[in-house]
Structure formats: structure tokens, C-alpha cells
Amino acid sequence: MGNTTSHHCQRTNEARTIFLSKVNEVYRIPSLFYYRDGKLLLAFAEQRKSQDDASSLMLVMKTGTVNMDNSTGVRTVEWSALRLVQEAYLDGHRPMNPCPLYEVSSKTLFLFFICVRGVVSECWQRFWGHNKARLYYITTRDNWATFAVGPGHGVQTKTGRLIVPLYAYMPSNPLYLSNGYAPTLYSDDQGKKWQFDLRFIYCNARNEGGYRVEAINDEKGAGFVTHPSAQKLVETGNGCMGSVVSFPAQSEKGQSDPSPNPHRWLLYTHPTDKSKRIHLGVYLNKSPRDPNAWSDPWIVKSGPSGYSDLVYIDDGWFACLMDCGVQHKTEQIACVVFHYNENKKRHRKVKNLK
């Protein structure tokens, strides 16, 4: 158990350090969950010896209480001290990729994660087709070359289905490495039994082709269809984790649609440079089925940035947990709280930051 000073997000669009890296103690893989009933943010990350993925030691967490200024409507967050998630541990393995998920009916919070044997790398597993990762949650193996949850958080649909995002590689000819897939883990009985599935409601995935891949599931249950790229969402180098959430369509006054089945918009965060993980951008899509409907990005955090996880709070307000720094993206994991309408006031063209 470690102790740190609590932080406050005093105003929107100002990033605050949640996990600060130092010598022999690096924090990576941000994962964020919002507990709506308690107005509480739960931030998770890996604590590592170094930047190397194979050096992960423990999972850590902080909680953040979301407050609202009644006169301005601005949301701020007060963060707790750091805590080690000591339950997320398997002897001889390293815990990685925290992925929280909440089941509303039973009021159960699941924390999914993987445990990888020793210091075996993902590249080694993909090359040789030998899975050294195990899937766990706190309160299996399949014939994958390797797999992992998230990073990010899971969701629960209106029907009660729990969905955990995964990525996996099937064994193939070592000369060509492994074939990548984006399955889901789901449960229809409040988390008592879990099954694998390859269908999505909406999928936004990293890619090596210069732009993100978007797919949406067929409502008839025939699987999901990949959108032709509109070249709106830039991919960085060989790929980087991004985060996307849906939220109720907002009125001109910034209020949520009060109808029982409101139209949904999408918000997405990702580094905006094609070659480097820098300048974390926020994109808005008011027509989720149209890949051409994405807005230009506005920069929520300039400079080095990497993975991010985005959650919707309420009334157009969001919190984003992200890798970032001044010289390097692994200097810290920070949180920024903002309203989606900030892009109208603070929109800065990416080209001006290069």
C-alpha cells in the first residue's frame, strides 16, 4: 500500500497526475470505470519495473469522487491515495491489462486481467504459437497463441449482457506470425458463466494501415461488418490503443435527450500523429453508422501521449485516463475531465502543434 497526495481537477481540460512514474517504478495501461450510483471513478494501471511490457509487477488503483459545482455545472474530481490490488496476483506470473466491468442488477464489480508466465513476451507467444497467458477476474484457457483483455473497460447492455473486450492471436505459420482477432467475452447471467463471441455492437480497433478500423454488428445477428475507411481516424505508427464510448445525443443547450431510447453519439480519443504517439485528440461522431461523420480532433493533451480510456459521466461530461508526459509518454498516467462542447471553444488544428 502506497500513499500519495490527493489531486483535484480544478477546471476542465486540465490534466492531473494520477500515477507518477519514477526510477524502477513505471505506470502504464490506463483503465477507467465510472460507478454512476456512487459518482465514483475507479482508475487502474500496471505498476512496472520499466517501460518494458514484460516487467509488470502489480496492478494498482485509485478512486476519484466526482463533484459538481452547482453554480457552473463544472465537474471536478478528488482522488484517493494509491492502493495495490494485491488480490490480482498469481505466483510466477505477472498481472497485466486491467479491465473493470460492473453488473447493475447484482451490483457486482468485476476486474478482469491476464497473468502471463514469467517474462515471456507477447511477440514470443505470437511467433511460436504458445500461449503463456491466463485470464482471471476478481470476486481458462483456449487454443490461442496469446490473448488479453482490454485494455480499457467492459460494458453492460440494456438487456443485461456483460461484454468484455479482448484481443487474441491464433497459431499460424511462424514465418507469418499469428492471425489477429477481436473477440468478446460475454455473460447473460450476471457473470456466473462466460462465453467467447466474435460479434460486436461497435468496434474500433488498432491497425497498421495508417487509419483505424471500424466495424458494426449486423442487427440480424450475422456478425459484424467492417466499414470502408473514411480516413478520418488516424492510426499512429504500428498502432496504439484508443478509447470510444457512446453517450446520449445532446441538445443545443448541452442537455441529454430525455426520451426512453435516445439517439446515441460517439466520442473517441487517440494520439493524432501518424508516426509518433503525441497530441491526444478527441473526436465526435453524431452519426455512429457513418464513418465520414467524425469531426476533426481537438487536442485534449499536447505532447507525448499513448493509451487512453474514456468514460461518460453525465450531461455531456467525460473523464479520460491517459499515458502522457513532457519528454516521454510513460512519465505518468493523468486524468482530464471535460465537456464534449469544449471542442467548439478550444479546437486547435493538429498541424499547428507539429
Q: Which domains does the chain have, with CATH numbers?
A: 16-353 (2.120.10.10)
Are residues 35 and 27 in contact, defined by beta-carbon separation less than 8 angstroms? no
Residue 221 is predicted with a pLDDT of: 54
Measured distance CA(132)–CA(9) in Å, rounded? 40
36-65 exposure pattern, b = at least 16 Cβ within 10 A, e = fewer: eeebebbbbbbbbeeeebbbbbebbbbbbe
- Whether the pLDDT of residue 319 is over 50: the answer is yes
Residue 219 is predicted with a pLDDT of: 55
- Whether the pLDDT of residue 83 is over 50: the answer is yes
Compute, in degrees rounded to 10, the torsion defined by CA atoms 225, 230, 234, 235. Answer: 30
- Whether the pLDDT of residue 295 is over 90: the answer is yes
| pLDDT band, very low/low/confident/very high, at 208 (cuts 50, 70, 90) | confident
* Phi (first) and psi of residue 80, to 5 degrees: -85, 180
Closest CA to 295 of 309, 278, 281: 281
Residue 48 is predicted with a pLDDT of: 97
* For residues 97-101, average pLDDT: 90
| pLDDT band, very low/low/confident/very high, at 60 (cuts 50, 70, 90) | very high
Residue 178 is predicted with a pLDDT of: 47
Lowest-confidence pick of 59-68, 198-207, 330-339: 198-207
Residue 181 is predicted with a pLDDT of: 61
Measured distance CA(250)–CA(271) in Å, rounded? 25
Residue 76 is predicted with a pLDDT of: 93
**Residue whose C-alpha cell reads 504500428 in the numeric block:** 238
pLDDT in tens, 259-286: 656 688 999 999 999 999 999 999 999 9
Mean pLDDT over the full length of the chain: 81
* For residues 278-301, average pLDDT: 93
Tell which wins on pLDDT, 199 or 306.
306
- Whether the pLDDT of residue 141 is over 50: the answer is no
Residue 1 is predicted with a pLDDT of: 35
* Phi (first) and psi of residue 129, to 5 degrees: 70, 25
| pLDDT band, very low/low/confident/very high, at 176 (cuts 50, 70, 90) | very low
The top-scoring range by mean pLDDT among 95-104, 195-204, 237-246, 307-316 is: 307-316
Percent of the chain with pLDDT over 90: 46
Residue 332 is predicted with a pLDDT of: 98
C-alpha cell at position 292: 465520414
Residue 155 is predicted with a pLDDT of: 74
Measured distance CA(125)–CA(134) in Å, rounded? 13
| pLDDT band, very low/low/confident/very high, at 127 (cuts 50, 70, 90) | confident
* For residues 9-33, average pLDDT: 85
* For residues 175-198, average pLDDT: 68
Q: What pTM was computed for the model?
A: 0.79
Residue 77 is predicted with a pLDDT of: 95
* For residues 84-89, average pLDDT: 89
- Whether the pLDDT of residue 52 is over 50: the answer is yes
* For residues 71-93, average pLDDT: 92
- Whether the pLDDT of residue 200 is over 50: the answer is no
Residue 292 is predicted with a pLDDT of: 94
* 3-state DSSP assignment of residue 18: strand
Measured distance CA(135)–CA(207) in Å, rounded? 24
First to last CA, the chain: 41
* Phi (first) and psi of residue 175, to 5 degrees: -65, -20
- Whether the pLDDT of residue 201 is over 90: the answer is no
156-165 exposure pattern, b = at least 16 Cβ within 10 A, e = fewer: beeeeebbbb
Residue 140 is predicted with a pLDDT of: 32
- Whether the pLDDT of residue 62 is over 50: the answer is yes
